[in-house]
Amino acid sequence: MNILETKGLYHDFSGLQVLFGVNLEVREGERHAIIGPNGAGKTTLFNVITGTYEPSRGDVYFKGQKITGFKPHQLARIGMGRSFQITSTFQKLTTFQNIRMGILSKRGIRFNLFQRVDKMSGITRETDAVLDRINLTGERDFPASLLSYGKHRSLEVSLAMSTDPDLVLLDEPTAGMSKDETHNAVQLIRRLTEGKTMIIVEHDMDVVFSLADRITVLHHGEILAVGPPNEIKDNQEVKDAYLGDLVVEV
């Protein structure tokens, strides 16, 4: 079953056409990568799916329900989470407070000082459990702005996962990371998305080919190919358009 489908999705920025009839299909439970050259429209596609932009034509379906035009917070409620290509944590809040925001927002609870203590202590426990899972207990009370780059990106992925979404979209979660940080981030992503559906935009082909069950190749706003990593790797059109002579170990 497809958990997410886009049907004939078009988007333009004041006349600059960016998406040309994209029919994306993501199966429930898979790790699905979207690859393609810079400017192909990957982030725009994410923004249309997650309600940041409205498509100029076409529709988005999530769990069989038409969600075109839904706002990001409505999508969070029905089980869609996302991270951003640019940093999206709350810089002045601590690691703990960032994750707690995610947990509270899923439940539709606004944090206030007069919250019932028993309810809040449950949320504190849940937040600490998440911190433990993502190895950030040691940085629990650091402001997000003081985290190392790699830990900061991990926090972002975790923030996207803290609402316990059925589908999570990650936009270049390893961008700018060192090799070690990338390795750790991939382990973390693998762990956090176990049993969930994930769509990841990723430029690091080692990450893509090791993580993805299926890959969609986007080129100039159109889908060029869809398939499992070994098929995509051998696809001549994809090689010509994007992978070039890149040799990838699978």
Ligand X SMILES: Nc1ncnc2c1ncn2[C@@H]1O[C@H](COP(=O)(O)OP(=O)(O)O)[C@@H](O)[C@H]1O
Angle of the 117-133 helix axis to the 95-107 helix axis, nearest 10: 120
Residue number, 38 or 236, with CB nearest to ligand X: 38
How far apart CA 41 and CA 16 sit, in angstroms, is 11
Q: Cβ of residue 85: shortest distance to Mg ion, in angstroms?
A: 5
Residue number, 139 or 156, with CB nearest to Mg ion: 156
Residue number, 54 or 132, with CB nearest to ligand X: 54
DSSP at 167:
E
Q: Cβ of residue 168: shortest distance to ligand X, in angstroms?
A: 17
Residue number, 52 or 105, with CB nearest to Mg ion: 52
- Contact with Mg ion (CB under 5 A): which of 9, 31, 43, 100? 43
Measured on CA atoms in the order 134, 138, 140, 144, is the torsion positive or negative? negative
Q: Is 173 exposed, middle or buried (0-12, 13-18, 19+ CB in 10 A)?
A: buried
How far apart CA 89 and CA 47 sit, in angstroms, is 17
Nearest-Å Rg of the Cα atoms of the chain is 18
* Contacted entry of ligand X, Mg ion, none for residue 44, CB cut-off 5 to 8 Å set by kind: ligand X
Residue number, 130 or 223, with CB nearest to ligand X: 223
* Contacted entry of ligand X, Mg ion, none for residue 18, CB cut-off 5 to 8 Å set by kind: ligand X
Which has the closest alpha carbon to 3: 58, 98, 67?
67
Q: Cβ of residue 198: shortest distance to Mg ion, in angstroms?
A: 17
How far apart CA 157 and CA 102 sit, in angstroms, is 11
Q: Given the rule CB under 5 A, which of 24-32, 40-48, 189-197, 228-236 is the region that contacts Mg ion?
A: 40-48
Residue number, 139 or 202, with CB nearest to Mg ion: 202
* Contacted entry of ligand X, Mg ion, none for residue 3, CB cut-off 5 to 8 Å set by kind: none
Which has the closest alpha carbon to 125: 149, 100, 150, 93?
100
82: left (phi over 0), alpha (psi -120 to 50) or beta: beta
Residues 144-203 that bind Mg ion (CB under 5 A): none
Per CB under 6 A, residues contacting ligand X are: 13, 16, 18, 36, 38-44
CA angle 245, 182, 148 (to 5 degrees): 140
Q: Cβ of residue 86: shortest distance to ligand X, in angstroms?
A: 11
Note the residue count of the chain.
Answer: 250
* Contacted entry of Mg ion, ligand X, none for residue 8, CB cut-off 5 to 8 Å set by kind: none
Residues 62-91: x/- map of binding to Mg ion (CB under 5 A)? -----------------------x------
Q: Cβ of residue 34: shortest distance to ligand X, in angstroms?
A: 8
The site for Mg ion (CB under 5 A) is made up of: 42-43, 85
